[in-house]
Amino acid sequence: MLVQAILNRKGSEVITVSRDATIEQAARIMSEHKVGALVVTLGDEVVGILSHREVVSGLARHRDRLSTVPVSELMRREVVSVSPQEHIKRVMMLMTRHRTTHVPVLASERLVGIVSIGDVVKHRLEELELETNVLRDAYFAVR
């Protein structure tokens, strides 16, 4: 199953934030939109990603500067991304290896969606059901 299959269902909306926004503003945007990560953009370019984890660590470290510390100071700069044509298994590998919960989807360097670890588990569950059925049929056909 491909990343595109997840985007077909959930759509291509990605909540972005400027790198000059503050921790406090980022927390509010995440809560309002009920998302676990914001993609940090500069014009059309993806320059970072900010997940719940970075906000919590920002709160722990910058207690008295929540209205001044910018997103750029907390975001992860090495953004792991995939194309819509990649397999979801690869997304699982990237999430495990880089300990990340959200992977932006880029097509020709344009942001076309985001896949969360929750999306991956949900789709993997559906794929599991499908596999069980296909294998059962294949077994009886060969037998």
C-beta closer to a second copy: residue 118 or 130: 118
Per-residue tokens: 30: 């995440």
Check residue 63 for interaction with a second copy (CB under 8 A).
yes
Shortest separation between residue 91's beta carbon and a second copy, angstroms: 9
What CA–CA distance (Å, rounded) separates 42 from 115? 21
What CA–CA distance (Å, rounded) separates 28 from 15? 12
Check residue 86 for interaction with a second copy (CB under 8 A).
no
* The dihedral formed by the CA atoms of 82, 86, 88 and 90, expressed in degrees to the nearest 10: -70
* Options 4-12, 40-48, 54-62, 106-114: segment touching a second copy (CB under 8 A): 54-62
The kind and range of the H/E element at 42 are: strand 37-42
Number of residues counted as binding a second copy (CB under 8 A): 37
Evaluate whether 7 touches 105 at the Cβ level (below 8 Å): yes
Interacting residue ranges for a second copy, rule: CB under 8 A: 23-24, 27-28, 30-32, 36, 51-53, 55-57, 59-61, 63, 66, 89, 92-93, 95-96, 99, 101, 117-118, 120-122, 124-125, 128, 135, 142-143
